[in-house]
Structure 1
Amino acid sequence: MSLNKKTNYYLLLFVIFGGFLIFGVSENIKGPAIPDMQQELSLTDGTLGALLAINAFGFLLACTYTSWLISKIGAKTTSILTFVLMAISGVFIYFSTNFTSLVGAYFLLYIGNGMLEISLAIIAARLFTKNTGTMLNLSHFFYGLGSTVAPLVAAQIMGWEINASVLGWRGMYLIMLSLSLLPIIPVVVSRFPKEEGNDEEDRTSIKKLTKDPIAWLIVFALAMGVTAELGIAAWLVNYLVKVSEWTIGEASGMLSIFFFSFMLARLLLGPVTDKFGYAISIIVFSLFAGVFSLIPIFTGDSLAILFAIAGFGIGPIYPTMMALLAKKYTKGTDTAITFTVVLIGIGGVVTNLMIGYIIEWVTNLSFGATFAESNKIGMQAGYFFIAMAAMLCGLASWEIYRRLKKEGNVL
């Protein structure tokens, strides 16, 4: 079937927006599932942190080869493979009976998520050459939309009864991840943009990136921003259940409000980033997120809503930094994206481990307190680390801004 340019563009928009929607769902249904998963499989907070770190490693591994895979078998085939892989991981999670089998199934899911991240980032960077900040924020708005509905829907599905037995987290994963098959339809019908440039240019770009302080600052800032984003997604429900003694339903509702704020910021603030500059915007967003995540740790339930409002700061960080990346490295953008996301993945492995073990370590150090009190203090310490990650993103972004200004190339 022959497609005109406009029709193909809209199909590609559907692929990108739909892909980000599925991405948001697959990454953020874990919030309501983790407390039940932890209890059923008797996982410590450290072990849970290790599980999330292994997931981050799977994500990282996929990021290292996806660009190469696209060049070998094409973006279309790679995208189909990615969505099928994500759906299959839901089947494996459903049949997991112990920690080892769960690790394997989760690892497969995050391989799929990593492949999806790189594929969508490359397609979007090639497609959105004008109003880059606006369009990338709009694309990631759909990630926020998926993330917003995911915890609420997941919590509801986990409570479904089929043949007098509760569906639980396994059945929820099976149902939700089967949605990954839906974007295959527009993938098959559309024509994907081809890679521009040559391998030599890409290799030169890698060499330049490894010697460029701004490239490393972008990696650090994004790693901290992503640590805050994924840390909140993974730990907010657990925090509210253990520290504030909320029900899973109430805590999942707060996580959904966070992602609603997150989603709304991506929808509304893209044009702001194009107008005022990407670096300055990220500084403001990340410091806002850090401060609003810190305050409720010390004030308690009365200001718990600030955890959710922090989403307004967290939401635009990733797409805005990707816009800065695309504008800074116009030659070899694919390589710059791969370089950055792979190194963020390494940071994600480390920080996921750190969050889990900070919680466990501080809990064990809380001598003289009851177990519940010790666990509460440990969770607060872990969440404090998440909030500080957002603050560090802001400080690194300030240094990026300073260096870009010195070069006379403020973005």
Structure 2
Amino acid sequence: MFASRKFLTAGGFFSFFIFGFMDNLKGPLLPEILRAETLNYSQGGTIVLSGYLGFIAATLLTGVMADWLGSRGVLLSAGLSLLLGVAALSFSGANFGAILASMGMIGFGLGAIEVGGNSLMVELYTVNRARYLNLLATCHGVGSLLVPLYAATLVTWEFSWQDIYGCSLGLVVILPTIFCLSQLSSHTPSEPDSKAPSGTAAGRWSWQETLRIGFSPRMGWYYVLLASYVAVELGLAAWLVEYLHQNRDMTVAHASLYLSGFFVMLMLGRLLGSFAVERIGYFRMVGLALGGGSLCIAAGLFGSDRWIGALPLSGFFLSIVFPTVTASVSKLYQQNIGSLLGLLFTAAGIGGALGSWSVGVIGNSQGLQAGMAVTLAYCLLGLLALYVLSRWRGDSPAAEPV
């Protein structure tokens, strides 16, 4: 039972719900942390950075772990890291170093979920893989939408930020429990009507093959494609409220509704796109997504006030890019797929950092309107990478994922 495909699929979906929930809990609680511990903005940024560094470290390390131990072992490790990090944070008090270490541990757990959850869907589903990867990402959106309500409610009840993190332990502990039970079986079921991926099983990992494929020109363009998308998404998510407040004269509360709408559109796009992506094709779907997202961003930035709603609407189009690119890579390269996904998600993390940073830097010198327009440049870069990949005819180890 605990190793059945349905149980593991539900466990994978739950892991991404936890991912979205815990990843976005720091946002509404950061003001509380700064106020309660009398920290400045620079220290607050360092707290966020520590979680980000833990995430990047996890995507690099757990990709190899997925090939050696299997995706369930990675998700078990992720759950334990997250559990320890949240527990330590709940008792960290005013110790700034302890807060940083705890956030880094939480970030490591979240990065491991990113790799382990996607690897698990790749192992379980060789047919309709993009559909399940999009549904997986939808669960992240559900967690992201619920966490502001959770945090705001407990803040209203005058819970401390440590207690709010502590209350989430009851949810977090479920994750390692699920995959501890699943480890009772050594077999990961895949679809009976398809050939199981040959490189996802533990013990088949090859360092030479990982280097050959992972640093090939073709994978390089996949890195550019995914990094460009994440730069757009996180650039918009980080600066949308400030842009609407400063450039469109909205209140922060009103502008925050647009940000919530952006996340709602991300979730809906992944949910609905999951039923269309296999019919339309991976590259065509990504092209439509980047094209539609670019038009929405341009209309929202350069149109009149009545077009401002196009900015959150861009999330509907952009939403499907990440899981569909992941599905495309997993279809092309079946051997050492955990390691390759780790490298792919590391590129995504770098893109996210560059996206929010470049919007801020250009916005500081040229104005936030120009800074937000940088996201359009990233969209064009992503479309360029997609064009190169769609025309690729060399070193193909599998059918073209179009």
How does the TM-score come out when normalised to structure 2? Answer: 0.81
Which amino acid is the alignment partner of residue 383 of structure 1?
A: M
Which amino acid is the alignment partner of residue 382 of structure 2?
A: C
CA contact (8 A) 1:57 1:345 kept: no
Find the partner of 1:115 among 109, 112, 115. 112
DSSP 3-state at the match of 1:271: coil
Deviations 1:152-175 (A, max 9, x none): 4434443x133xxxx465554444
CA contact (8 A) 1:59 1:115 kept: yes
Match of 2:228 in 1: 224
Change (3 A) 1:108 1:355: farther
DSSP 3-state at the match of 2:263: helix
- 2:24 aligned with 1:28, yes or no? yes
In 2, Cα distance between the equivalents of 1:178 and 1:67?
A: 28
Higher percent of residues as helix: 1
In 2, Cα distance between the equivalents of 1:385 and 1:48?
A: 25
Find the partner of 1:266 among 267, 270, 275. 270
CA contact (8 A) 1:224 1:389 kept: yes
| Mapping of residues 331-346 of structure 1, within 5 Å | 331-346=335-350
In 2, Cα distance between the equivalents of 1:150 and 1:326?
A: 31
- 2:172 aligned with 1:180, yes or no? yes
Across the aligned residues of Structure 1 and Structure 2, the Cα RMSD in angstroms comes to: 3.3
Alpha-carbon distance, 1:277 to partner = 1.3
- 2:388 aligned with 1:399, yes or no? yes
- Tell which deviates more after alignment, 178-187 or 350-359: 350-359
Change (3 A) 1:32 1:307: farther
Alpha-carbon distance, 1:42 to partner = 3.4
CA contact (8 A) 1:237 1:251 kept: yes
Find the partner of 2:201 among 175, 191, 196. 196
DSSP 3-state at the match of 1:186: helix
| Mapping of residues 290-369 of structure 1, within 5 Å | 290-299=294-303, 301-359=305-363, 361-362=364-365
Deviations 1:32-66 (A, max 9, x none): 4456667864326xx77666554333211111211
Match of 2:80 in 1: 84
In 1, Cα distance between the equivalents of 2:75 and 2:328?
A: 25
Which amino acid is the alignment partner of residue 330 of structure 2?
A: A
Find the partner of 2:62 among 56, 61, 66. 66
| Mapping of residues 140-151 of structure 1, within 5 Å | 140-151=137-148
- Number of aligned residue pairs: 384
In 1, Cα distance between the equivalents of 2:153 and 2:307?
A: 26
Alpha-carbon distance, 1:127 to partner = 0.5
In 2, Cα distance between the equivalents of 1:294 and 1:32?
A: 29
CA contact (8 A) 2:292 2:317 kept: yes
Match of 1:18 in 2: 14
Find the partner of 1:390 among 375, 379, 398. 379
Match of 2:259 in 1: 255
Alpha-carbon distance, 1:68 to partner = 3.8
Alpha-carbon distance, 1:252 to partner = 3.7
CA contact (8 A) 1:155 1:249 kept: no
Match of 2:213 in 1: 208
In 2, Cα distance between the equivalents of 1:290 and 1:173?
A: 37
Deviations 1:289-344 (A, max 9, x none): 23323332334654332222111112111110011011111233223212212333
Match of 1:409 in 2: 400
In 2, Cα distance between the equivalents of 1:122 and 1:152?
A: 30
In 2, Cα distance between the equivalents of 1:30 and 1:168?
A: 13
In 2, Cα distance between the equivalents of 1:258 and 1:235?
A: 12
- 2:266 aligned with 1:277, yes or no? no
In 2, Cα distance between the equivalents of 1:48 and 1:386?
A: 25
| Mapping of residues 119-130 of structure 1, within 5 Å | 119-130=116-127
Which amino acid is the alignment partner of residue 115 of structure 1?
A: A
- Tell which deviates more after alignment, 114-123 or 236-245: 236-245
In 1, Cα distance between the equivalents of 2:245 and 2:170?
A: 29
Deviations 1:349-402 (A, max 9, x none): 44444344444x42xx7xxxxxxxxxxx34x44433334323422232122112
Alpha-carbon distance, 1:146 to partner = 1.6
* Identity between Structure 1 and Structure 2 (%): 24
Deviations 1:262-300 (A, max 9, x none): 111111112322112101211111222233233323346
Change (3 A) 1:315 1:153: farther
Which amino acid is the alignment partner of residue 186 of structure 1?
A: I
CA contact (8 A) 1:224 1:392 kept: yes
**Structure 1 unpaired stretches of 5+:** 366-376
Change (3 A) 1:317 1:257: same
In 1, Cα distance between the equivalents of 2:71 and 2:334?
A: 20
- Tell which deviates more after alignment, 129-138 or 385-394: 385-394
